[in-house]
Amino acid sequence: MTTAAARISARGADRWAAGHPWIFRSDVLGHPDAPGICRVLDRRGKCLGTALVSPRSEIRLRFLTAGEPRIDRGWWRQRFAECLAAREGIDANAWRLVHGEGDGLPSLVVDRYDRWLVVQLLSAGLETARADVLDALEDLLAPAGILLRNDVPVRRHEGLPLEVVVARGMVPDQLEVHEGPVRYLVAPRTGQKTGAFLDQRENRLLAGALMPSGGTALDCFAYHGSFALHLAGRAAQVVALDSSADALARARDNAALNRLGNIEWVEADAFAQLRRYERERRRFQFIVVDPPAFAKNRSSVTQALRGYKEINLRAMRLLEPGGLLLTASCSFHLDRARFLAMLADAAADSGRRLTLLHLLGQGRDHPELLTVPETGYLKGALLACRQ
């Protein structure tokens, strides 16, 4: 048990009672001066649990538990063992072991790539537990190496430096992993996110299973080929486009790794390229639209919706009758209801008739806690074109 304590207002206590672990500056009546881990008391002095303290952040406290245990290496190890058990049976060796608040471990991300771990420590309080967190991961998983991908801008709000460092063992510049039948290379130091978009794993497996055999497919915003590699197993021809030359270089290597010669890699702006395909009257039987987050904050949602609508409208027009569109948004600020309304709007303007086959979300290794909306950001839909 830690002796340091913070005190919070009734509103802060209500928030925690309702299942949200963040206590904002305005609800903190007093807290230790230095980053760390402390007990949290209500106004009457009753202990509500134990939290990470970030003295410079708007989010001052992040609850770790409703109890008052010693938060040491053994405590972290036990939490990680629970996370591991919840991910049993995933058909891949690259997945998220810890999804921050979704796993009850605020501000911590741990992604597993075969024998390597990529970790993000996203708060000043958590940073003080760095050694215990890394020791616990080593104890439990004996990884060949642990990379800290602490180059996330949110660390600046915490007064923390941005860094990419090998914390334990050795981590190569490129790793090979598999996802169902597909093998792929990941660049953990320089790739986007921690190297791969692990949150779409289940949707990629679904796409691979539903691709009509011998058909044509288009993967827009393909990154290092993630969806395209799954589609190419059954498709006659896949076109995969992305604006990142670096990602496409790895995508080509990924195709070779899987002995796939039926993917055309196109470095282009997706908006311009889809306009071109529309002019050329190209048609595809499966299209994936998985853009970056267009809405970076609440105030940019309206403008972002225009971008989402345009890209989806164009994709709908490129579908063969009977074709499938797997479309997604990873903008937290765009909620499911508005995402679906945008798709309905695009469908109405497209002249096509589309049915909703599946609502999609992030994989089960990215658990979305209902009382913490921030844990759920990826939403998607699988649509079928009737005519």
Ligand X SMILES: C[S@@+](CC[C@H](N)C(=O)[O-])C[C@H]1O[C@@H](n2cnc3c(N)ncnc32)[C@H](O)[C@@H]1O
- String marking each residue 43-82 x if it binds ligand X according to CB under 6 A: ----------------------------------------
200 touches ligand X by CB under 6 A? yes
Confirm if 216 and 235 have CB atoms less than 8 A apart. Answer: yes
φ, ψ of residue 224 to 5 degrees: the values are -90, 30
- Should residue 9 be labelled a site residue for ligand X when binding is judged by CB under 6 A? no
Radius of gyration of the chain, Cα coordinates, nearest whole angstrom: 22
Name the minimum Å distance from CB 314 to ligand X.
12
Residue among 83, 220, 330, 385 flagged as catalytic:
330
How big is the chain, counted in residues? 387
Strands 237-242 and 216-220: parallel
Q: Is 194 in the site for ligand X (CB under 6 A)?
A: no
Which residue type is seen at 28?
V
By the rule CB under 6 A, 308 interacts with ligand X: no
**Which range touches ligand X (CB under 6 A), out of 108-116, 132-140, 155-163, 216-224?**
216-224
Alpha helices in the chain (DSSP H): 10-17, 73-86, 124-127, 130-141, 201-210, 226-232, 245-257, 270-279, 301-317, 336-350
Choose among 171, 51, 191: nearest CA to 115: 171
Residue (141 or 218) nearer to ligand X, CB: 218
Distance of closest approach, residue 311 Cβ to ligand X, in angstroms: 9
CA dist 210 and 340 (Å) reads 22
Stretch that binds ligand X, among 70-78, 218-226, 318-326, 352-360 (CB under 6 A): 218-226
Query: What are the residues whose beta carbons fall under 8 Å from the beta carbon of 339, sequence distance 6 or more?
Result: 308, 329, 379, 381
- 330 counts as binding ligand X under rule CB under 6 A: yes
One of 174, 243, 262, 300 touching ligand X (CB under 6 A):
243
**What secondary structure letter does DSSP report for 34?**
S
247 touches ligand X by CB under 6 A: yes
Smallest distance from ligand X to CB 112, Å: 16
Q: Which of 214, 292, 322, 373 binds ligand X (CB under 6 A)?
A: 292
Indicate which single residue of 50, 54, 120, 226 sits in contact with ligand X (rule: CB under 6 A): 226
Is there binding between residue 285 and ligand X (CB under 6 A)? no
Q: Is 284 in the site for ligand X (CB under 6 A)?
A: no
Q: Of 71, 211, 270, 342, which lies in the binding site for ligand X, with binding defined by CB under 6 A?
A: 270
| 47 assigned to active site | no
Torsion angle in degrees (nearest 10) through CA of 185, 189, 194, 198: 0
Tell me if 28 sits within 8 A of 60, measured CB to CB: yes
Residues that bind ligand X (CB under 6 A): 192, 197, 200, 221-223, 226-227, 242-244, 247, 269-270, 290-292, 330
Give catalytic residue positions: 330
